[in-house]
């Protein structure tokens, strides 16, 4: 499953399902797909996501012993979505996902 975040103020962001659902929870929303955030609530969602990312920076990511690849931090995964939310706040527009 993929989750695509959309707003008229920014390019679409597509994430793998688990990562997208985790980001939704960090923003204080249920993991329901599809869904949307009203324009007046986007700033609060961005604030919650930013706070969750900052909290995640304080603890190291779990080591995946089955992978040769280095782990990708929550901050790196969240950055495109945070940029999308910031653009939506600036343009005072809603964000949806499917």
Q: Band of the pLDDT at 56, cuts 50, 70, 90?
A: confident
Q: Is residue 63 part of a domain?
A: no
In a domain, 32, yes or no: yes
In a domain, 86, yes or no: yes
Domain of 44?
A: 2-57+71-97
Higher local confidence (pLDDT), 70 or 48: 48
65 within domain boundaries: no
Instruction: Please indicate, yes or no, if residue 29 is contained in any of the structural domains.
Output: yes
Q: Is the peptide bond before 59 cis (omega within 30 degrees of 0)?
A: no
Is 64 contained in some domain?
no
Residue 18: inside a domain, yes or no?
A: yes
DSSP assignment string, 44-96 = HHHHHHHHHHHHHHTSPPPP-TT-SSPPPPHHHHHHHHHHHHHHHHHHT--EE
Residue 62 within any structural domain of the chain = no
Query: How many structural domains compose the chain?
Result: 1
pLDDT of residue 85: 98
pTM for the structure as a whole? 0.88
């Amino acid at each position: 499953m993929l989750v695509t975040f959309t707003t008229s103020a920014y390019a679409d962001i597509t994430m793998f399902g688990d990562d997208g659902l985790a980001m939704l929870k960090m923003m204080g929303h249920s993991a329901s797909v599809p869904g949307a955030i009203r324009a007046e609530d986007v700033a609060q969602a961005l604030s919650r996501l930013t706070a969750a990312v900052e909290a995640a920076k304080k603890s190291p990511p779990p080591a995946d012993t089955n992978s040769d690849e280095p782990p990708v931090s929550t901050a790196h995964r969240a950055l495109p979505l945070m940029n999308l939310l910031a653009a939506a706040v600036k343009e005072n527009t809603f964000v949806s996902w499917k």
